[in-house]
Structure formats: structure tokens, C-alpha cells
């Protein structure tokens, strides 16, 4: 249940995202971020706010652990929309978290995947990928490398 305790604190975040989230040949764009994270419910909830100063927006992630199913639901919201995106759900196995969910991007149905890996006391890696074919192939379109401040 305490899988996201590592994230508590303040992090500098090196972001890379594709200029077209659905095209694996599109260029990568790099930009900074600053994240503040906290845990709640004895480790059964995690919350962070991330600021992207060069992009002019912020985002929030709420993570909730379902004790019965023993899995996490991760909800993202952006200041640009003011709404929660559909959740991705999953769990950690051997220090790697993998989460999947259904969503849309540019009006097209997609399957979303988030992966947390490379977790140490002072670093972590997150990546997002989208699939347009139900999860057969994936386009990794956003990565974040966290360094504890």
C-alpha cells in the first residue's frame, strides 16, 4: 500500500514529450518541471502538484490504493482543462509500477500506459505511452526523470 511513499517531497523534473503524442517519429521537446508530493491515508493515497514553468500550466495527480483489489488508481488533472482524466490502474511488482487505462487523444480512442521505474531515494523515472490498437503496439510520448531537490 505504501508504493508511492518514495515520491513524498520536492523534485526537479526533466520532461521530454513528443510533439505528436501518436507519432513515434515526431520530435522530442524538453522542458523543466517542479513537483511537490505528499502521502495520505497511511500511505494509501498520494498527491502531487507539478508546475511546468516554461509551458505555463500545472497538473495534479491523485493516486488511491484499493485495498480489496490491491491496486492503484491514478487520476491526472491539468489546470488547462480543470477536469480529471480517466484513471489508469495497476500495481507495483519488483519495484516497477505499471498502470493502464482507456482514454482519448485528439478525439481518437487510445489505451494509456504509465510506468514508474528506476526508483531510488533520490531519483525516479516515469513514462507515458499510448496505443491505438488495444495495447499491441505503444508509442512512448512523455518521460519524466525526477531528481530529489
Domain-located, residue 85: yes
Domain of residue 9, CATH code: 2.40.128.20
Q: How many separate domains does the chain show? A: 1
Domain-located, residue 100: yes
Per-residue pLDDT tens for 69-101?
A: 999 999 999 888 888 999 999 999 999 999 999
Domain-located, residue 24: no
Domain-located, residue 125: yes
Task: Say what the pTM is.
Answer: 0.94
Domain-located, residue 34: yes
**Backbone dihedral region of 118: left (phi > 0), alpha (psi from -120 to 50 degrees) or beta?**
left
| pLDDT per residue as tens, the chain (149 positions) | 899 999 999 999 999 999 999 999 999 999 999 999 999 999 999 999 999 999 999 999 999 999 999 999 999 998 888 889 999 999 999 999 999 999 999 999 999 999 999 999 999 999 999 999 999 999 999 999 999 99
Domain-located, residue 76: yes
Domain-located, residue 68: yes
Domain-located, residue 50: yes
Q: What is the domain extent for residue 128? A: 5-19+29-148
Amino acid at each position: 500500500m505504501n508504493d508511492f511513499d518514495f515520491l513524498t517531497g520536492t523534485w526537479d523534473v526533466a520532461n521530454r514529450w513528443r510533439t505528436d503524442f501518436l507519432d513515434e517519429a515526431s520530435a522530442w521537446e524538453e522542458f523543466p518541471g517542479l513537483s511537490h508530493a505528499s502521502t495520505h491515508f497511511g500511505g494509501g493515497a498520494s498527491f502531487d502538484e507539478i508546475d511546468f514553468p516554461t509551458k505555463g500550466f500545472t497538473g495534479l495527480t491523485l493516486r488511491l490504493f484499493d485495498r480489496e483489489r490491491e491496486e492503484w488508481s491514478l487520476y491526472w488533472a491539468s489546470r488547462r482543462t480543470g477536469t480529471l482524466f480517466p484513471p489508469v490502474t495497476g500495481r507495483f511488482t519488483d519495484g516497477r509500477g505499471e498502470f493502464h487505462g482507456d482514454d482519448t487523444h485528439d478525439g481518437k480512442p487510445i489505451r494509456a500506459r504509465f510506468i514508474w521505474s528506476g526508483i531510488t531515494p533520490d531519483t525516479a523515472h516515469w513514462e507515458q505511452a499510448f496505443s491505438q490498437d488495444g495495447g499491441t503496439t505503444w508509442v512512448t510520448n512523455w518521460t519524466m526523470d525526477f531528481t530529489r531537490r
